[in-house]
Structure formats: C-alpha cells, structure tokens
Amino acid sequence: MKYIKTLNIWAEGVQEAITSGAIKLQRGQWLRCGVNNRPCRFVEVTRGGTLHVVHWQGTSSRTAHCFKVSVESKKTKG
C-alpha cells in the first residue's frame, strides 16, 4: 500500500471514511487536524472506532519517539 496525500481529518466526512474503511491508511501516514501547521501521524483506528494519531511534540525527534512508542505499545497489546 502507498501513502496518500496528507488529509485534513477535520474535513467533512474524512474521519467517518477512515473509520469505515472507505479510506485506508497505512501506519505512519501524515494527517492534519484543521489548520494546524504541524502534521500528525496515524497509528491506528481502535476497536471502538477512535483515530489514534500522534501530534507534534515540540521537536521532530520527540514526535518520532512518541510515534515509535505508540506503535510498539500497539504491538505488545496485540
């Protein structure tokens, strides 16, 4: 699967399309929340239908670290 252009998850219908599977995202896909200048990274859609993303953490390295921790946590929980 390929990454797609950065989506604004606050745009009408986007979250619903992601949670329903109409839009398929790869883990690590860049997303935007409204007009925020910094993108977030997609981790997963939870069983409850919530989008799990990692937002900007002040620096690129901290954001990458939080993303890595989120992905590792997901792997250990199954």
Tens digit of each residue's pLDDT (9 = 90 or more) over 8-40? 999 999 999 999 999 999 999 999 998 878 999
- Is 31 within 8 Å of 1 (Cβ atoms)? no
Task: Quote the domain boundaries for residue 41.
Answer: 7-77
- Name the residue type at position 71: V
Residue 42 has pLDDT above 90, yes or no: yes
Number of domains observed in the structure of the chain? 1
Query: What beta strand segments (E) does 1-78 contain?
Result: 7-8, 30-32, 40-45, 51-54
Residue 62 within any structural domain of the chain = yes
Residue 67 within any structural domain of the chain = yes
Across the chain, mean pLDDT equals 92
Residue 1 within any structural domain of the chain = no
25 vs 2 pLDDT, higher one? 25
Residue 54 within any structural domain of the chain = yes
Residues near 16 by Cβ (< 8 Å), separated by ≥ 6? 22
Residue 2 within any structural domain of the chain = no
Record the pTM: 0.89
The pLDDT of residue 78: 59
Angle at 44 between CA 70 and CA 46, to 5 degrees: 100
The pLDDT of residue 64: 95
Residue 63 within any structural domain of the chain = yes
* Tokens, residue 38: 């910094």
